[in-house]
Structure 1
Amino acid sequence: MAIDAATVRKVARLARIAEPEEKLEPLAKELSAIIDWIEQLSEVDTDGVEPMTSAVHVPMAMRDDVVTEGGDPEVVLSNAPKRAGNFFVVPKVVE
């Protein structure tokens, strides 16, 4: 898949990235090479390969899913800059 300078210009504008006009063509070539490499990966046969979460096999640490009362409100709110009863007070952000 070839990416041209016009596509790079459009993506840069959408991402709010200011790129000088002289850098658009080299970026287009570089991005095209990256897309070509990614397309090569789709040719790799991965049938029977288990998904990995890490390069080193480490068993997942599991814990019991236990419902709690949420802890002691005094402990939870001890570092709150402002509070009202058992609730955090935050600045209004929506008018």
Structure 2
Amino acid sequence: MSVTKKDVDYVADLARLELTEEETESLAGDMNQILDHIATLEEVDTSDVEPLEHVIDLEYRLRDDKAEEPLSHDDALKNAPDADSDYFRVPRVID
């Protein structure tokens, strides 16, 4: 399968992107390289490989889940960029 400029224009239209002619040509080339690489990967025999949930074995890399004392109110506010006596102060985002 080969990606054409028409395919790139279609996907760009779906994503509401405006691309120049040079960007369209560049993306078509990049997508074709990706598809060529995937075709190369499909040639690898993976019949003996067990399916993985994670690339690394996470079972032994997690720390024990144990309860600890919570932060005090003062410690929680100590590194806040802006705080009053009881709360974090953040910039207003809704007018």
Using structure 2 for the length normalisation, give the TM-score.
0.60
Q: C-alpha separation between the residues in 2 aligned to 1:71 and 1:86?
A: 14
| Shift in CA distance, 83/12, structure 1 to aligned 2, threshold 3 Å | same
| Shift in CA distance, 87/12, structure 1 to aligned 2, threshold 3 Å | same
| Shift in CA distance, 60/94, structure 1 to aligned 2, threshold 3 Å | farther
**Does residue 1:76 correspond to 2:76, yes or no?**
yes
For 1:34, give the aligned amino acid.
Answer: I
RMSD: 3.2
* % identical aligned pairs: 34
**Does residue 1:39 correspond to 2:39, yes or no?**
yes
For 2:3, give the aligned amino acid.
Answer: I
Q: C-alpha separation between the residues in 2 aligned to 1:80 and 1:23?
A: 43
Q: Give ranges in structure 1 of 5+ residues lacking alignment.
A: none
Partner in structure 2 of residue 89 of structure 1: 89
Deviations 1:6-40 (A, max 9, x none): 2223444637464x314533542442232132133
Q: Which is richer in strand? A: 1
Count residues in correspondence. 90
Using structure 1 for the length normalisation, give the TM-score.
0.60
